Amino acid sequence: MQVIRTVQAMQQEHTHWRGKVGFVPTMGYLHAGHLSLFRQARAENDILVASIFVNPTQFGLHEDFQRYPRDLERDLQLLDASHVDIVFAPSDTEMYPQGFTTYVDPRGPLAEQVEGAMRPGHFRGVATIVLKLLQIVRPDSAYFGQKDAQQVAVISRMTQDFNLAIQLHVLPTMREPDGLAMSSRNSYLQAQDRAAATVLYKALQAGQATFMANSPDGPQAVRQAMINVIAREPLAKLDYAEIRDPGSFLPLETLQAPALLLLAVSISTIRLIDNFALIADGTWNTGIFLTQEHF
């Protein structure tokens, strides 16, 4: 496995490649959810590239950029075990050199509502760094997790708008045995918070059940079912409970596929997001529970 630190070296490296190139962008502190992306990408490509970069431009002023978990040595061991060929691990100044002024600034409901409303400027940072990484690595395919559903939708729209010749693969959320979605931020949770965090999965289950019951109150009933579950957990503070179209992120007016049930909840001071997706054929993507093979 080769570790590359500079844009110039990364661009020079891919001139020697032959065959299909798969790419998994990450912010490091890898977990089993990331490993599932590497497995899929490894199976489908001749060359596998991963990036590790904690992107400062997608963090707000009072967010957790400085304390975001980092462990590059451990990450590199996991990447090597996952048969990654190239790891791109640049510095902040390498990706945002002095004089950097050009950003991708997505607009409209897709980028400005739901998570975009809670974290102004977040998707500007996400779209900018993902476009830079795609331009530097030049993969045929890129792999993302369903847990960050709105991020995936923004990136998908960006690749269409800029006519990028890349195929996006969105894999199911990986879950702990009790339903908690895998996230690097789970490492912040103390024991009491960790137990309380399962409320997100329970709330999504309640929303799904209400959806499937075809409540006459429609989307509002689904939202209320999720809200009610969150309200019963003393350590949980709800940011939003939404039911949206997964492409446009406009609110759904009727209970129909496709649909996204979305939650953002703070457990004590730790903010977590999660979702269930109802795809067009009527099947639900609620994630995959961890087993030993996922490690």
Distance CA 262, CA 129 (A): 24
Q: Residue 190 CB: number of other CB atoms within 10 A? A: 11
For 77, the token pair is 């061991």
Predicted confidence (pLDDT) per residue in 118-129, tens digit: 999 999 999 999
Q: HSE on the CB side for 6, CA within 13 Å?
A: 3
User: What's 291's DSSP letter?
Assistant: -
222, 261 in Cβ contact below 8 A?
yes
Domain boundaries, the chain: 2-171, 184-287
Are 2-171 and 184-287 equal in CATH topology?
Answer: no
Helix and strand totals (H; E) in the chain? 11, 12
pLDDT score at 244: 98
Distance CA 260, CA 244 (A): 5
pLDDT score at 14: 86
Catalytic positions, written as ranges:
34
CATH of domain 2-171: 3.40.50.620
Q: Tens digit of pLDDT per residue, the chain (295 long)?
A: 999 999 999 999 988 899 999 999 999 999 999 999 999 999 999 999 999 999 999 999 889 999 999 999 999 999 999 999 999 999 999 999 999 999 999 999 999 999 999 999 999 999 999 999 999 999 999 999 999 999 999 999 999 999 999 999 999 999 999 999 999 999 999 999 999 999 999 999 999 999 999 999 999 999 999 999 999 999 999 999 999 999 999 999 999 999 999 999 999 999 999 999 999 999 999 999 987 665 5
The residue type at 122: H
pLDDT score at 292: 60
Distance CA 90, CA 78 (A): 18
35, 84 in Cβ contact below 8 A?
no
Distance CA 67, CA 59 (A): 11
pLDDT score at 295: 57
Q: Is 56 exposed, middle or buried (0-12, 13-18, 19+ CB in 10 A)?
A: middle
**Residue 39, CA distances (Å) to 49, 199, 272, 279 in order:** 12, 29, 25, 23
Alpha helices for the chain (secondary structure H) = 7-13, 32-44, 72-81, 92-95, 109-112, 115-118, 122-137, 149-161, 191-196, 199-212, 219-231
CATH architecture of 184-287: 2-Layer Sandwich (3.30)
